Every structure is written in C-alpha cells, then in structure tokens.
Structure 1
Amino acid sequence: MLDLARLRALHAVAVHGSVGAAATALGYTPSAVSQQIAKLERETRTTLLERHGRGVVLTDAARQLAGTAEQLLALVEQAETTLEERRGRPSGRLLVAAFASAARGLLPPVLAELAARHQDLDTRLVEVDPHQSVDLVARGVIDLAVTHDWDIAPLPAPDGIERTPIGDDPSEIAVTAGHPLTARAAQRPGGALDRADLAGERWICQPPGSVCHDWLIRTLRASGHEPDLAYQVAEYQTQLALVAAGLGIALVPRLGRGPLPDNVVMLPLEPVPVRRLYAVWRPTTARRPAITETVRALRTHATSLTTPLPTPPPTPPPAP
C-alpha cells in the first residue's frame, strides 16, 4: 500500500524541481521530505531520485509515479472538500501563496483573523512570484493564491482555475524630498506628475521578468522615452533605501510599502498606475468554506490597506 504523504512529497519535488523548494511548499524540513522519498523508494523497490550536481532529478519511474500521485491527490481533495462542506465551517489545511509585498502587507492580518475565528483551520503561507502561483494552483500544489496584474499585462486565466478581484493597489513615484520632481508636482493642479515628467530619470526597479519591470518599460516607451534602469532589485524596501541615497526614483505600490525613509516622499502620477489584486483557486475547491472565508477576509483587508492616499491640495500661488 502506497503512503499518501510520501506520494505528496514526491509530487511536490516533481512540481517544484528540488527537495528544498518542495519542503518550503509543504511546510516541512528538507530532511523530512528526503526521508519520505527514501521510504517511498523502499516501498516501491524503485530509484526515484538521482543526484545531479548539487541537486536531484526524477527518474522516469518517479515521473510516472508523480503523475499518478497528482490524480490521487485530486481525488483526496474532492473527498475533503465534500466533508468540509457538510460540516459547514472552515477546517483542514489550506496552503496559501502570495507575492512578496502581499505576504508582508496583506496576509498577516488575514491569517491572524482566520486563526482567531476558525480553530479547526490550519492555514499555511508560502511566498511565490505571481507568474508562478497561478500554475501551481491549477496543478493542485497550492490551494489559493493572491496574485496581481497591471493594465498592460493581464493575469492569465488558464483552464482549471477561478479568480475574483479583491482590491486595487495604486502606485506612486518615490523621490527624495529635494528632488526637482517634487517642485514640479507642487506646481501642478492636484499635485500629480504626468508620465512626460519622468523622461531622463534614473530608475530603481524590479529585475527583468517581473510584471512591475515590464510595466515600467512598456509605459515609458509608450510615452516616447527609453528608461534608464540603473538599479534592479526585487524588494521595495531596498528600492526605497536606494531612493533615500539619492541614486534614482522608483515606482512603488502602496501594498507592503512599509515606513518611508525620512527624506523620501511619494508623488502621485496621472493616470494612476494600479495593480489589480486577485484571489485564485480551483473550481473543485470552490465549495470549501475555507476558500470562501479566506477570500472574504482577503477582500476586507485589501480594501482597507490599498485605498489610495488623498491627493495633496495644490500649492497656492505666491502672493503678489
């Protein structure tokens, strides 16, 4: 008899590509995942993982068994969904994925509320890039994901997922307090910059391959300017530290921004760049009270956290 937990471990390694990444997704240690795979090898009398450099690769037999494991896990999920629905309350384990700024700025109060209200629900969190999380949900590795898109890069909607918007995350331009753009914004009605004002600036942005990076390049090129991407770092707090050092400007979403350095100010931009936030799950789990309750909590907290700051009043003209 094959052990389901060991099959789950093998399936996670097949999806994530390494024992370490599988352990992170499952909430185990790498050694615990390795032990599960070793026991499964003894049970099946089959080599499942082979060393390749510093990592491992699945054998042909392991890939076949991982495919079977995916089918079995889907059946188990259907049974668990039916039981939870009959109980009528959130329960069991729920694995949630979120991109970095959502994991920092949105999920803590959501997870705390769920833990306080639903003692039978074991909610886990793993940080995953937005372009990966939708696929992981579709493949049954993650139960629910918080992801985002921009107007120029809509979120893909492959077969096997459902989604709902949970909020909008407006972005603003981070500059030092004495930057020329600050004075320029103060002279505009509403205190907002437009995209033509950004020409010739040195930018601090996320690395290539991220949605935010692609948005910045496409938007500036569409306004007739080739962006000067001087510093490319993933964390927004690092971007703000570079802005504070006077090394450039950055486009920073409100969500997960955290406290600003003392000499950094945020300037509104028109039209306002907005990330749309979504919750994504599989149709087979849509009836789970755990899913519906988590989506409710996400929407409630996202609305309060991402409401745009009031636009500063225009600076009055100097007295004659």
Structure 2
Amino acid sequence: MLDIRQLQALVAIHDTGSIAAAARELGWSQPTVSHHLQNLERELGTAMTHRDSAGTTLTPAGEVALRGAHDILALAERTVRDVDELLARPALIRLGAIPTIGASIMPPALAELAAAGIAVSMKEDESADLESDIRARTLDAAIVMGSPLIHATYGPSYRPLFVEHLFVALPTHHPAATRATIQLSDLHADAWILSNAGPDPVDEALDAVARARGITIRSSIRSDDYSVVMAYVAAGLGVALVPESALHGGRTDVVTRELSDAGFTREIGMIVGSHAPAASLDAVMRALSHSIRAMAPRRI
C-alpha cells in the first residue's frame, strides 16, 4: 500500500531536481528519501525517476504518479484541517489576492473573518505566482483575474466572484477629458500604459477591439501597480484601462471615462485548493460576498 512519505519524497524530488535537495526540503536524510522512493517504485513495479549528470527527473510513470501524489497529499492535509475545525482547534486559512483586490474588497472581508475568530494570513502577488502557491499548497485560496485559461485549468475549483467595469484613465488636460463618454477612436493617437504580466487578458481584449477598428495599440511603459499607472497617466505619458476596484479617489489630475463603443470588463474569481479546509472556505466566501456587495462603483 502506498505511504504518504513515499509520495512526499516523489513530490520533493520533482520540485527540487535531486535527492539531496529533496532531503533538505523535507528535513530528512538522503538515505531516508532514497528508501521511500525505492519503496514507492517497488509498490508500483516501475522506476519513478531517471538520474544523470543534470540531476534527477521523473519518468513518464513518475509523472503519472506525481499527479496522484498531489491529489492524495492535498486530501490528507484537508482531512487533518477539517478535523481540527470540527474540534474547534485554531486553523489558519491562507489567502492570496492580486494587488487591486487586496486593496479593495479584502480589508473588510479580513476584518469580518477576524471578528468571527477565523485566523487568516494574507499575501498579495501576481496571478501566476499565486497559482504556483496553490499548487505548492502554501496557499489555500487565491483571488485572481478570470480568463478562459483559468476556467479551463481549474474547472469547479475556480469560483467566479464578480465582474467589474474598466474605465479609461486620462490626464485632465487630455482633449477628451471633458466628455462624459468617449470612443476608442478618440484615443487613436495616444500611447497606452499596459501590464507587465503576459499574456494579460485585459490587454489582449483591448488589442483585439482596437485591431477590429483599424487602431494600433502603442505602448512603451508598463506597470501592474495601478497607483503607478495613474501617476504615469497624470504625467501625460499615456492612457490606461483601470478597473473599478483600483479607483480610490484623491487624484485631481486624472479623470476616468467610459468607452461607449467598447465595454471592457474583467472577471474576478477565487481558485480554491483541494487541500483547503471546507468550513473556513465557506466563511471566506461569505465575507467576500458581503464585501463585494458593499463595494459601490467608483469613478474619479
């Protein structure tokens, strides 16, 4: 029968690329890692790894076993944490979110969870890094921007939360700044401030709509920090699409306007790890729902 330690050894070898590094990561001796790997190979009747001068990699059978190992280890972790919750033992729920969400819906949600006695850790990062943390089981859930790829990759483990509008941010001296609404063609001569992350679903949507209208999106400045983006806009370095959740007010040198001929939106959702404790995740979903309902549309 498979042993949890055998699966831990396999995952660590895959993640670190060698038995020595796996031993350091697990806090085991190298002979212990080798022992559990050999027992796994004996149990499954085939080699799990291939070793050469470049390191240790998984065989095709090892790759198949790795997928099952991730599922089994996640279920084992969730079982322990679910029992902890049942017995009212303190359980930490580990959350992550992209920065704009961390600055908008997360503070009231985290306050609600704290008032309910639910211990939470919070990390802000870009979507790709949060996804890596979910796979590594160092986060229980991550709030990210949805996309067809996210839906296809995570299926029911991805839970849509809300859809928000994006507005175009303009410096107050821009010729279109005095209009209530503008069209994309009004900005044909402007440079755009785009995302560092690629591929970015919003940037891709903007480019697709622009190309359909015979407009080329030009960009020489990129940032994923919307406070920095707004500063670039205010300085007249370009225009940008900015989500509602990033509009905190306080600026008098930037205005936001709707694009009447291209309604840009983005979906925000939560990736839930299979190892996440069920009861705590239910409480997180309720707190997020309350925070989202209280988030009024914002314009500047």
Counterpart selection for 1:300 from 290, 295, 300: 290
User: CA separation of 1:230/1:71 partners in 2, compared to 1, >3 Å: closer, same or farther?
Assistant: closer
2:254 matched to which residue of 1? 264
1:203 matched to which residue of 2? 192
Structure 2 residues not aligned, in runs of 5+ = 38-48
1:146 matched to which residue of 2? 143
- In the alignment, does 2:175 pair up with 1:180? yes
- Per-residue Cα deviation, 1:86-143 (whole angstroms, up to 9, x for no partner): 45x7952322222222123332332232122124x3x223334335655764775532
- In the alignment, does 2:161 pair up with 1:166? yes
- Displacement of 1:44 in angstroms is 2.6
- Per-residue Cα deviation, 1:196-249 (whole angstroms, up to 9, x for no partner): 222221111113422222222122112221111121222212111111211111
- Please say if residues 174 and 249 of structure 1, whose CA atoms lie closer than 8 Å, have aligned partners that are also in contact: yes
Which letter does structure 1 place at the counterpart of 2:194?
Answer: C
User: CA separation of 1:77/1:34 partners in 2, compared to 1, >3 Å: closer, same or farther?
Assistant: closer
Counterpart selection for 1:41 from 27, 30, 44: 30
Distance 1:291 1:110 in 2: 12
- Please say if residues 247 and 298 of structure 2, whose CA atoms lie closer than 8 Å, have aligned partners that are also in contact: no
Q: TM-score, normalised by structure 2?
A: 0.72
- In the alignment, does 2:274 pair up with 1:279? no
User: CA separation of 1:165/1:44 partners in 2, compared to 1, >3 Å: closer, same or farther?
Assistant: closer
1:105 matched to which residue of 2? 104
- Displacement of 1:67 in angstroms is 6.2
**Percent of aligned pairs sharing the same letter:** 21
In the alignment of these two chains, the number of paired residues is: 281
Distance 1:169 1:9 in 2: 43
- Please say if residues 161 and 282 of structure 1, whose CA atoms lie closer than 8 Å, have aligned partners that are also in contact: no
Runs (4+) off by over 6 Å: 7-10, 61-68
User: Residues 1-320 of structure 1 correspond to what in structure 2 (within 5 A)?
Assistant: 11=11, 36-41=25-30, 43-44=32-33, 60=58, 70-80=70-80, 82-83=82-83, 86=86, 92-119=91-118, 121=119, 123-130=120-127, 133=130, 137=134, 142-149=139-146, 155-158=150-153, 161-183=156-178, 185=179, 191-207=180-196, 208-270=198-260, 271-282=262-273, 288-305=278-295, 307-309=296-298
User: CA separation of 1:247/1:81 partners in 2, compared to 1, >3 Å: closer, same or farther?
Assistant: same
1:29 matched to which residue of 2? none
- Displacement of 1:300 in angstroms is 1.6
- Displacement of 1:165 in angstroms is 2.8
Q: TM-score, normalised by structure 1?
A: 0.69
- Displacement of 1:180 in angstroms is 0.5
- Per-residue Cα deviation, 1:266-302 (whole angstroms, up to 9, x for no partner): 22222432212112325675x8111111011112212
- Please say if residues 167 and 257 of structure 2, whose CA atoms lie closer than 8 Å, have aligned partners that are also in contact: yes
User: CA separation of 1:45/1:206 partners in 2, compared to 1, >3 Å: closer, same or farther?
Assistant: same
- Please say if residues 84 and 289 of structure 1, whose CA atoms lie closer than 8 Å, have aligned partners that are also in contact: no
Distance 1:85 1:170 in 2: 38
Which letter does structure 2 place at the counterpart of 1:280?
Answer: I
Structure 1 residues not aligned, in runs of 5+ = 19-32, 186-190, 313-320
- Please say if residues 163 and 279 of structure 1, whose CA atoms lie closer than 8 Å, have aligned partners that are also in contact: yes
Distance 1:11 1:254 in 2: 40
Distance 1:289 1:245 in 2: 48
